[in-house]
Amino acid sequence: MSYIPGQPMTAVAQRIEIQKLRQGDHLILGFSIGGGIDQDPGQNPFSEDKTDKGIYVTRITPGGPADVAGLVMGDKILQVNGWDMTMVTHDQARKRLTKKKEDVVRLLVTRKSLEKAVKQSMSH
Amino acid sequence: MDTESTHSGYSYSSRSGRSNRHGRERHKAGSSKDSSRSERSVVINPPDTPSQDSPVHNGEPLPGEPTLAADHGEDAQDDNWGETTTAVTGTSELSVSQEEVVGLGKGIQDRTHSFRRYLPLAVGLCVGLLVLATPLDFLLLPAVMWPDRLQACGAACEGLFLSIAFKLLMLLVAIWALFLRPGRASLPRMCVYRAFLTTLTLLLTMSYWLFYGVRILDPQDEDYHGIVQFAVSLVDSQLFVHYLAVVLLQLRQLQPCYSVCVIRSTDGETRHYNVGQTSIQRAALSILEFYYRDFPLHNPSLLSAAKQRAAKHLAELKVYNVDAPGNAAGAQPANGTQSRAMASAAAAAKRKDSAHNELYYEEADYERRVRKRRARLVVAVEEAFTHVRRMKKEDERASPSDIMDVHEAALAIFPSMARALQKYLRTTKRQHCHSMENIQKHLAFCLTNNMSPKAFLETYLAPGPTLQYGPERWMADQWTLISEASVTSGIKQGSEFLLRCLDFSLAVTVKSIPYIRLTEEYIDPKTHKFLLLLQSETSV
C-alpha cells in the first residue's frame, strides 16, 4: 500500500456498506479512525509503510454496524461515498464519515490479506 | 689488663679511617628518621673469631684487616695494640649509649636548622645590597676619583639621574617583595631556580664591573653622560632579571598541569588536587598545605578495631597439629578451643566464617550507639542555649548580679552539656582532641557571635582539618619526603613519592591533565523550528 506521490496507486479493494445506527441524537458507525495528513504516520500500528498518512480503522465496536458490515481493524479506508480518503486531514475524514444527512456510507477499504487472497486465487 | 674501650665504629689503631667514620657516623645519626634505630651499633668482627661474647682480646694478635696491618707498619712504636684494642658494642660502661648518639646528632641538627632557615634571607640580602650599590658606585666613583676632568652633566644627564632613582626604588621594593620574605617552609634541597637566578645576577653584576673597570676606571673616561647611561643600562638589566625571577619562581607554577592523587596510608582518605609545573619538593610542600586544610585529623584510636581483627585472625591461624593427647597442653592455639586438632581446626574455620558477621553487627551496634549519644547531646545543648540570652535595652533595669560577660555566661551553661558532650566524644574516640578550656572558649565565641546550638555543635560532630586543633597535633616538623627521583627534578606524568609523618604516610601519584581539544559549532538561531506530532483517534 505504499505509493510514490504523484504516481498512480493500485490496491485490491473491497466495498463495504455500513448502515448508520441511531443512538439518541447521533448516528454512529461503530468504529474509530486514526491517521491523516496532519498526523504523525510513525505511530500508526497498522500501516506497512510508516510514511503512509492514510486513514486507518483503529478500533471496531463488537456488534456495531461496522462489525456487522464486515469492517476489520487495520483496514485502510480509500474512499467514503466516492470521496477520497488517502489525502485528507483527520478532521476532514471525520466529517465525511459523520454527515448527518446520510444514513449509509459506502466504503472502499483495502487490507493486506486481500492481495494475498487474490494472488492465491490467481495461482490456482 | 688495661683495655681501652672506645665507641663502636672507632678502632684505636686505624687512625686513617677515623675522621671518615666520624663524619659518617654523625651524618647517619643526625639525618635518618626511620624506625630501625636499634641496628645502629656496629660490631667489628675479626674474621676467624666465631663469637663476640668477650670484647677483650688477651694478647692474641688480631688477624689481618689490611688497614690494621698498614697502620701497624706506620705505628712501629705501638707494640701493645693487640692488647689495647677492643671493639665494643654498647655494653661497655664507657661507651656512648644510643640515645646520646642521637642527641649528638640532634644538637648539630638544631644549629644547622636555624642556619638553614635564615640562609636564603642572608644570601638575598647580600645580593640585594650588591645590586643596589653597584649603579650608585658607577655614578659616584668618577665624581670622587677625577672630578676636575669630568664633563659637566647637562639636562639630559640629570634626567637620567631621576630615572635611575625611581628604577632603583622599584627594584628595591621588588627584591624585598620576592626574596626578602621569611620562608614559609624548609625544604630538603635548595631551589634550583633560585640558585640559577642568584648566579645570573652575580654574573651580570660582575661582567658590568669588569667592563667598568677596564674601559672606564682605567682610562678615566671623561664622558659622564656615557657613564650615567651605562649605569641606567645596568639597572634596566637587573629589572629584567627580576622579571625573569617572577616568571620562573611564581608564574610558572600557577597554571595547573598535573592532577595529583593523595592517599593517607592509615585510613585511605583520598583527595585530588591540581598543581602546576614545579619540582617534587615544592609540589610536596603545596600538598602538605592542602593536607592541613582538607584532610580530617588523623585519629589512631579509630584504627585499633581493625588491628584487633587482624590480630585475632592471625592468632586463629596457629592451629597446631597435635599427635598425642599428652602434647595438647603445650600446643594450645591462642583462641582457647579444645585441644583436639580437628575440633580446633573446625572451630577456627567457623570463626573465620563468622568474622564478617561479627564485623557487621559490631558496626551496626556502633552506629546506633553514636546516634543515641548524638541525640542526647543535641537535646542537651539546645536546652543549655535556651538558658542564656543576649541582654536587650529593657534588661538594663535587671540586677547587676544577673548580668554576665560572655565568659561567665559560657561557664554558667557549660556544666549542663558537659557530660553529654564528653560521652559523645568518648564514643567517637575524639576526647583527646578537645580540652575543657577549648570547649569553653568555643562556647564563648559562639555566644558572642549569636550562633545557634547546631553551629556550636558542628565542631564536635565531625573531625575537622588538622589546623583546627592545637599546635601539638600539627607535627609540622616531622615530615619526610621519600622519592626515587631527585627532589629538585620536576614532577612528571607517573611520578610517585611518599610523604611520611610519624605513624602514617601520604602516598602521592601524579597524572597529567589531558590535552583538551575544543572545537566550535555555530547554530543559526533561526533553525530552532519544531513540528507537532499528533496521533488522534476519533470514533465515528
Q: Taking residues B299-314, what's their average pLDDT? A: 79
Contacts of B72-77 with C-beta under 8 Å, sequence gap 24+, read B72/B13, B75/B13
Q: Does B421 or B303 have the greater pLDDT score?
A: B421
Q: Which residues of B touch A34 (CB under 8 A)?
A: 535-538
User: What band does B31 get if pLDDT is binned at 50, 70 and 90?
Assistant: very low
Contacts of B71 (CB under 8 A, 6+ apart): B13, B14, B15, B16
How far is it, in rounded angstroms, from Cα B337 to Cα B328? 11
Tracing cell 655614578 back to the chain, one arrives at: B139
CB contact under 8 A, A94 and B540: yes
CB contact under 8 A, A58 and B537: yes
The pLDDT assigned to B98 comes to 55
- pLDDT at B20 > cutoff 50: no
- pLDDT at B329 > cutoff 60: no
For residue B316, the one-letter residue type is: E
- Pick from B70-84, B237-251, B359-373: least confident: B70-84
The pLDDT assigned to B173 comes to 94
In the DSSP assignment, the letter for residue B177 is H
CB contact under 8 A, B535 and A31: no
From the list A38, A42, A94, which residue is nearest B538 (CB)? A94
Q: Taking residues B343-351, what's their average pLDDT? A: 63
| Residue A36 domain-assigned (yes or no) | yes
- Pick from A2-16, A101-115, B224-238: least confident: A2-16
User: What band does B331 get if pLDDT is binned at 50, 70 and 90?
Assistant: very low
Which residues are registered as beta bridge partners of B263? Answer: B270, B507
The pLDDT assigned to B343 comes to 60
pLDDT single digits (tens) B164-184: 999 999 999 999 998 888 778
- Provide the sign of the torsion angle of the four alpha carbons B414, B418, B421, B426, taken in this order: positive
Q: Taking residues A69-76, what's their average pLDDT? A: 92
pLDDT single digits (tens) B409-420: 899 999 999 999
Closest CA to B262 of B511, B510, B507, B512: B507
Contacts of B47 (CB under 8 A, 6+ apart): B63
> In 3-state terms, what secondary structure has residue B444?
helix
| Residue A46 domain-assigned (yes or no) | yes
The pLDDT assigned to B462 comes to 85
> In 3-state terms, what secondary structure has residue A120?
helix
User: What band does B356 get if pLDDT is binned at 50, 70 and 90?
Assistant: confident
Which residues are registered as beta bridge partners of B258? Answer: B275, B512
**Cα angle value B238/B244/B249 (rounded, 5°):** 125
CA atoms within 13 A on the CB side of B346: 6
Instruction: Tell me the three cell numbers of residue B111.
Output: 644549629
**CB atoms near residue A55 (< 10 Å):** 28
CB contact under 8 A, B540 and A58: no
How far is it, in rounded angstroms, from Cα B252 to Cα B242? 14
Q: Which residues of A touch B533 (CB under 8 A)?
A: 39-40, 42-43
* Phi, psi dihedrals of residue A34, rounded to the nearest 5°: -140, 160
Tracing cell 580446633 back to the chain, one arrives at: B344
> In 3-state terms, what secondary structure has residue B20?
helix
For residue B264, the one-letter residue type is: R
Residues in chain A whose beta carbon is closer than 8 A to a beta carbon of chain B?
28-29, 31-34, 38-40, 42-44, 58-59, 61, 90, 94, 97-98
The pLDDT assigned to A110 comes to 92
Please tell me the total count of domains within chain A: 1
State which of B61-70, B271-280, B380-389 shows the largest mean pLDDT.
B271-280
Distance from CA of A75 to the nearest CA of B (A): 14
CB contact under 8 A, B535 and A59: no
How confident is the prediction for chain B on average, in pLDDT?
78
Instruction: Tell me the three cell numbers of residue A113.
Output: 490479506
- pLDDT at B34 > cutoff 60: no
For residue B15, the one-letter residue type is: R
Q: Are A14 and A114 in contact (CB under 8 A)?
A: yes
Distance from CA of A36 to the nearest CA of B (A): 9
E runs forming strands in B300-444: none
How far is it, in rounded angstroms, from Cα B497 to Cα B482? 6
Distance from CA of B524 to the nearest CA of A (A): 27
pLDDT single digits (tens) B130-151: 999 999 999 999 888 888 888 8
CB contact under 8 A, A94 and B533: no
Distance from CA of A8 to the nearest CA of B (A): 27
Percent of chain B with pLDDT over 70: 72
Which chain B residue's Cα is nearest to A95? B540
Burial zone of B227 (CB within 10 Å; 0-12 exposed, 13-18 middle, 19+ buried): buried
Q: Inter-axis angle of helices B98-145 and B155-178, to 10 degrees? A: 170
Instruction: Tell me the three cell numbers of residue B205.
Output: 653584576
How far is it, in rounded angstroms, from Cα B41 to Cα B9? 8
Closest CA to B535 of A123, A11, A32: A32
Percent of chain A with pLDDT over 90: 57
- pLDDT at B7 > cutoff 60: no
Q: Which of A27, A28, A29, A32 to mutate to test the interface with B (most CBs of B within 10 A)?
A: A32
Q: Which residues of A touch B539 (CB under 8 A)?
A: 28, 31-33, 59, 61
pLDDT single digits (tens) B198-218: 999 999 999 999 999 998 888
State which of B16-25, B102-111, B307-316 shows the largest mean pLDDT.
B307-316
The pLDDT assigned to B307 comes to 79
Q: Taking residues B359-388, what's their average pLDDT? A: 92
Closest CA to A59 of A36, A85, A30, A89: A30
> In 3-state terms, what secondary structure has residue B239?
helix
- pLDDT at B350 > cutoff 80: no
User: What band does B15 get if pLDDT is binned at 50, 70 and 90?
Assistant: very low
Q: What CATH code is carried by the domain that includes residue A87?
A: 2.30.42.10
Q: Are B164 and B139 in contact (CB under 8 A)?
A: yes
User: What band does B334 get if pLDDT is binned at 50, 70 and 90?
Assistant: very low
Q: Which residues of B touch A94 (CB under 8 A)?
A: 538, 540
> In 3-state terms, what secondary structure has residue B307?
helix
Name the strands in the sheet holding B480-483, side by side, starting at the edge strand that comes first in the sequence: B270-275, B258-264, B505-512, B496-500, B480-483
pLDDT single digits (tens) A27-65: 899 999 999 998 988 888 888 888 889 999 999 999 999
For residue B169, the one-letter residue type is: L
| Residue A31 domain-assigned (yes or no) | yes
Q: Which residues of B touch A31 (CB under 8 A)?
A: 539-540
- Pick from B49-53, B199-203, B352-356, B456-460: least confident: B49-53
Segments forming the whole domain that contains residue A24: 13-118
* Phi, psi dihedrals of residue A13, rounded to the nearest 5°: -120, 160
CB contact under 8 A, B538 and A28: no
Q: Taking residues B358-385, what's their average pLDDT? A: 93
Q: What is the 3-state secondary structure (H, E, C) of B56-117?
A: CCCCCCCCCCHHHHHHHHHCCCCCCHHHHECCCCCCCCCCCCHHHHHHHHHHHHHHHHHHHH
Instruction: Tell me the three cell numbers of residue B476.
Output: 609540622
E runs forming strands in B337-494: 480-483
- Provide the sign of the torsion angle of the four alpha carbons B105, B107, B113, B116, taken in this order: negative
Distance from CA of B528 to the nearest CA of A (A): 20
How far is it, in rounded angstroms, from Cα B97 to Cα B451? 57
How far is it, in rounded angstroms, from Cα A18 to Cα A64? 10
User: What band does A71 get if pLDDT is binned at 50, 70 and 90?
Assistant: very high
User: What band does B359 get if pLDDT is binned at 50, 70 and 90?
Assistant: confident
User: What band does B55 get if pLDDT is binned at 50, 70 and 90?
Assistant: very low
CB contact under 8 A, A59 and B537: yes
CB contact under 8 A, A39 and B538: no
User: What is the gyration radius of the CA atoms in chain B, in angstroms?
Assistant: 37
**CB atoms near residue B476 (< 10 Å):** 13
From the list A39, A58, A61, which residue is nearest B534 (CB)? A39
Q: Taking residues B279-301, what's their average pLDDT? A: 91
From the list A34, A59, A98, which residue is nearest B535 (CB)? A34
pLDDT single digits (tens) B499-530: 999 889 999 999 999 999 999 999 999 999 99
Which chain A residue's Cα is nearest to B539? A32
Q: Taking residues B24-38, what's their average pLDDT? A: 41
**CB atoms near residue B241 (< 10 Å):** 17
Q: Which residues of B touch A19 (CB under 8 A)?
A: none
Percent of chain B with pLDDT over 90: 42
Q: Taking residues B297-303, what's their average pLDDT? A: 84
The pLDDT assigned to B476 comes to 80
Question: Strand B270-275 relative to strand B480-483: parallel, antiparallel, unpaired?
Answer: unpaired
| Residue A6 domain-assigned (yes or no) | no
Q: Are B187 and B281 in contact (CB under 8 A)?
A: yes
CB contact under 8 A, B534 and A40: yes
CA atoms within 13 A on the CB side of B496: 3
Q: Which residues of A touch B530 (CB under 8 A)?
A: none
User: What is the gyration radius of the CA atoms in chain A, in angstroms?
Assistant: 15
Distance from CA of B270 to the nearest CA of A (A): 52
Q: Are A109 and A77 in contact (CB under 8 A)?
A: yes
Q: Does B97 or B536 have the greater pLDDT score?
A: B536
Which chain B residue's Cα is nearest to A55? B537
* Phi, psi dihedrals of residue B286, rounded to the nearest 5°: -65, -35
Percent of chain A with pLDDT over 70: 98
How far is it, in rounded angstroms, from Cα B234 to Cα B249? 22
Which chain B residue's Cα is nearest to A100? B540
Q: Which of A19, A40, A50 to mutate to test the interface with B (most CBs of B within 10 A)?
A: A40
CB contact under 8 A, B538 and A31: no
From the list A28, A90, A98, which residue is nearest B536 (CB)? A90
Distance from CA of A124 to the nearest CA of B (A): 40
